[in-house]
Amino acid sequence: MSTPIKAILFKKEIKGELHNILCYWMNFSYDLKRGGFIGQIDFNNQKNYESEKGAVLNARILWTFSAAYQIEDHQEIFNTAKRAFNYLADYFYDKENGGIFWSLNADGSPKDTKNQIYAIAFVIYGMTEYFAISKDEKALEIAINLYRKIEEFSFDPINKGYFEAFTRDWQPIEDLRLSDKDANEKKTMNTHLHIVEAYANLYMVWKDETLRKTIVELLETIDKHFINTETGHLRLFFDENWIEKPDVISYGHDIEAAWLLLQCAESTKDENLIEKYKQHAIQMTDVTREGLDNDGGLWYEFDPHTNEMIAEKHWWPQAELLIGFVNAWQITGDETYLDTAIENWEFTKKHIIDHENGEWFWGVNADYSRIEKDFAGFWKCPYHNGRACMEVMKRIAD
């Protein structure tokens, strides 16, 4: 099957956008005063050198630049990945207890020392990608150590799945939430999605059979509990006994899970699992259309209890849509999926990308006014949009 001209042109623009994103982070995000990366760059592109530094931000920078180096072989990209690795290993990694600090003060001292499994998963994800480009055994050692800590303390041997968070010394903790908007529940879709993402990446560089079986079991758990095959949407929050705590429909997570879980299944070489997740991918991609606006943009969330759309279009669901719909096109050969991705890209270029500085705005409201939140920060990283560019580039043949 020859590649349509529109796909080749799409890929060419995406390649240029990856360059812009990487340049933004290399030009603006280094903390030249205290090392590592600045904890926050606000909506006006003003650097806050006193802001706390988040583990998720640093781990995602590590993954993004390690992955990008395999596509764009530039020394400065490698140097940025190495900068992130060194800072995570020296400051975020808790050598005493074998965990990851959730956040640091601006000077690098520990601030919030809880072990949030979501953040630990992202450090594994980043460390394994860095090992792939550097062959630095320390990165692989940290990743394996963190994997073993998750299995020792977070895994639920009775009901399966993983608990959300612990104290620094791995004791139970009352507040399990990732952020203020999340439900305080013991098992969440978001954390399970990123554990399996991290484990699959670890398996690519460390062919441990126990790890492979763990990935298979985790994908079976996700299939059983988190994917609602009646609606095609994800279930987001559960207690320890898998009693659901109904919440919103998250279009960004639906479309991210659609392609990412299939990629994780493919890492196991389990044909039955791969086929099951191909079916999930198409269903979840199709129901994501419920959140598409006429302008090609993807709305953030829908609240079924109030029957209201959360009328914002954030940067990261647009990025995940690009991959998810290209993935569905790859599986089916149906060009309408490709067309949807290209329409969303046109929306993103018009309303989301900051063409002056090179990063993406947090998002826009229904009237296209900009959401005045960080360019860089605890949750604003180069991971979603950078990964979208890299995945689209890999998936479209020249």
pLDDT tens-place string over residues 315-339:
999 999 999 999 999 999 999 999 9
Q: Three-state DSSP class for 110?
A: strand
Averaged pLDDT for residues 296-321: 96
How far is the C-alpha of 121 from the C-alpha of 214, rounded, in Å? 14
Q: What is the mean pLDDT of residues 175-181?
A: 77
**Cα gap 181→354, rounded to integer Å:** 26
Q: Give residue for tokens 């956008």.
A: 17
φ/ψ region of 45 (left if φ > 0, alpha if ψ in -120 to 50, else beta) reads: left
What is the structure's pLDDT at 262? 98
What is the Cα–Cα distance from 238 to 378, expressed in whole angstroms?
25
3-state secondary structure of 247: coil
pLDDT at 188: 96
Q: What is the mean pLDDT of residues 220-244?
A: 97
Q: What is the pLDDT confidence band of residue 180, given thresholds at 50, 70 and 90?
A: confident
Mean pLDDT of the chain: 97
Q: What's the whole-number mean pLDDT along residues 163-170?
A: 97
pLDDT in tens, 347-372: 999 999 999 999 999 999 999 999 99
DSSP label at residue 234: B
- Supply the pLDDT for residue 344: 98
The Cα 186–Cα 159 span in angstroms is 12
Average pLDDT over residues 41-65: 97
Is the four-CA dihedral 389, 359, 13, 251 of positive or negative sign?
positive
146, pLDDT greater than 80: yes
Taken in order of first residue, the domains within the chain and their CATH numbers are 5-395 (1.50.10.10)
Least confident of 135-149, 165-179, 337-351: 165-179
pLDDT tens-digit series, residues 369-386: 999 999 999 999 999 999
The pLDDT value recorded for residue 175 is 81
Give the pLDDT of residue 343.
Answer: 98
**DSSP character string of 255-308:** HHHHHHHHHHHHHHT-HHHHHHHHHHHHHHHHHHGGGB-TTS-B-SEEETTTTE
pTM comes to 0.97
Strands 308-310, 363-365: pairing kind? unpaired
| pLDDT for the residue 52 | 97
pLDDT band (50, 70, 90) for residue 90: very high
Question: How does residue 1 score in pLDDT terms, banded at 50, 70 and 90?
Answer: low
**pLDDT class of 398 with cuts at 50, 70, 90:** confident
Tens-place pLDDT, residues 193-231: 999 999 999 999 999 999 999 999 999 999 999 999 999
Section 68-93 average pLDDT: 97
Instruction: Using pLDDT thresholds of 50, 70 and 90, give the confidence band for residue 177.
Output: confident
Beta strands in 78-230 (DSSP E): 93-94, 99-100, 103-104, 110-112, 115-116, 165-166, 187-188
